[in-house]
Amino acid sequence: MEASGALVLFDIDGTLVRRAGPHHREALVHGIRRVTGLETTTDGIPVQGMLDPDILTLMMRQAGASRTRIRAAMPEVMRSAERHYLRVCPVLHGKHCPGVRPVLERLTRRGLLLGLVTGNLTRIGWRKLERAGLREYFRFGAFGEMAATRAGLARMAIGEARRRGWIGKGAAVALIGDATADILAARANGIRSISVKTGITPPEELEALAPDFLLPDLRHLRLRMVEG
């Protein structure tokens, strides 16, 4: 397969899918309860742009768990949360952010490589896209448990694409997301940052970080933004 001239990395929540329901957060609560017996909540945790393991850590710390207990429980907590989400995730075909499918179709026809950089745990992220009918557009992804930071996830995704020969050495790389964390991750990796205002981050917070492009939604994405 010929190497693509550009790699476009997408966040999921607030970028591709929004208002997906409480099932993801409920899965995190369930995973902690099943493994540790602790009753927890995401209330008061600024989950936007965070990685799922970091959210789980804060949930357990708020419930009084020690660092040692959290570290020991985390692998099974994540597996339990994923299993629960696979069971309860609803159909999400009506939950696309504006312009998502036409954009993915256009980028795919153009021969660009599409990947994911998301704080979702792996099986939660893929399940969400399957239930949204978007799984087919993405060859690979870097997920919340794979690195300590979103910048690390982006670095991992870019490295995998290069190692596998999916993109050439001079390929353009862009990261599209709805949170400030996506802008910072792009900047840390020296790649193009494209922000969309379809998440819950206040637009002025995105503007303050001066991404390369700040769009109302994906209907405003142009090929020159990801190929140039």
What CA–CA distance (Å, rounded) separates 153 from 145?
Answer: 9
pLDDT value, residue 1: 58
Q: Which class is 4-20+92-227 in CATH?
A: alpha beta
Give bridge partners of residue 156 from the DSSP assignment: none
What CA–CA distance (Å, rounded) separates 111 from 207?
Answer: 30
pLDDT digits (tens, 9 = 90+) for 166-203: 998 889 999 999 999 999 999 999 999 999 999 999 99
Q: What is the DSSP string of 25-80?
A: HHHHHHHHHHHH------TT---TT--HHHHHHHHHHHTT--HHHHHHHHHHHHHH
pLDDT digits (tens, 9 = 90+) for 8-32: 999 999 999 998 779 999 999 999 9
Nearest-CA neighbor of 92 among 125, 51, 115? 125
pLDDT value, residue 51: 97
pLDDT digits (tens, 9 = 90+) for 72-87: 999 999 999 999 999 9
Q: Which amino acid is at 107?
A: L
What CA–CA distance (Å, rounded) separates 59 from 141?
Answer: 25
pLDDT digits (tens, 9 = 90+) for 113-152: 999 999 999 999 999 999 999 999 999 999 999 999 999 9
pLDDT value, residue 48: 86
pLDDT value, residue 155: 98
pLDDT value, residue 206: 97
Largest separation between any pair of C-alpha atoms in the chain: 52
